[in-house]
Amino acid sequence: MTTYKLLALDMDGTLLNDRKEISQPNAEWIAKCREQGVTVVLSTGRGIQHILPYFDQLKLDSPIVAVNGGEVWKRRDQLHLRHVIPFGQIEELRRIALELNVWYWAYHTEGKPTRDRWDESCGSQMAWIKFGYRTEDPAKLAILHERISQIGDFELTNSHPTNIEVNPAGITKASGLREVCKLLNIGMQEVVAVGDSANDLAMIAEAGLGVAMGNAQEEVKLGADVVTDSNEEDGVSKVIKRYILELG
C-alpha cells in the first residue's frame, strides 16, 4: 500500500500535544500504520528514561533514536551505540552557563541533571551525551554560540528558539536514523521524518519525505517537503493518513 517503510517521529511539539500527551487520533493512526508493516521510530532529543513511557503506551517494538542521535537503541532494552561528550568539555560548557547566568541541563546515562540539580561529585564517572542551554535573551544566545565553538567541534541545534542543544560534531537525528536504516536494511529514501524544531532539520532533509509540523519553526518549514497540521491538531495522524497509507 505504501512505498515508505519507516516513520520517524519527533516527540515534543510533534507526536505530543502541548500537555505532553499522545492524542487518541495519533495513537490510532500509528497503530494502523504499524498494521501495514511500517516501522514507527521515536527520534527525539529526550533521553531514554523520558521516552519509554510513550514507547510502551504505543506498544512499539522498534529501534529508538534518543538524545538527538547521541544514542541509538536496537530495542527498548538493548543499546546499539552511544556518542559521548568528554567530561572535561562538559565542565567547560557548564562554566559558560554559570558565567552568563543562563539555565542549563544535560543528559548522561543516569539521568538529566539541571542547574538546580547538579551533583558535582560524580560527573567524571558518567557517560555524558548532551548539554543544553536556555535563555530568553537573544544576545546571550549569540554569545553562547560563539563561546561553544571555542571549546570544540559540536553539533548545535535547538528544540525551541530559546535554547541550544550540544551534541558531538556530526551527531544528529539523521545520523541516528541512518544507523536504524542499517539495522532494518532499508534506505533513507524509504523514511518519512516529522518534526518541528532545528534538531529535526537534518532528518527532515535526508528522509524520503520530510514533514514539518504546522507549529514548526520557520526554518524547518522551509527545509521540509510538506507541512502538516500542528501538534494540537493531530498533525501526525494526518501525515500517516495522507502520505503513508495514501487515504487522501
Order of strands across the sheet that contains 78-82: 78-82, 71-75, 64-66, 39-43, 6-9, 191-195, 209-212, 226-227
Do 57 and 24 contact (CB within 8 A), yes or no? Answer: no
The residues pairing with 226 across neighbouring beta strands, listed in sequence order, are 211
The values of phi and psi at residue 41, to 5°, are -120, 130
The values of phi and psi at residue 12, to 5°, are -70, 125
The values of phi and psi at residue 107, to 5°, are -120, 130
Rg of the Cα atoms in the chain: 18
Give the catalytic positions in this structure: 10
What are the E-state strand segments in the chain? 6-9, 39-43, 64-66, 71-75, 78-82, 103-108, 128-134, 154-157, 163-168, 191-195, 209-212, 226-227
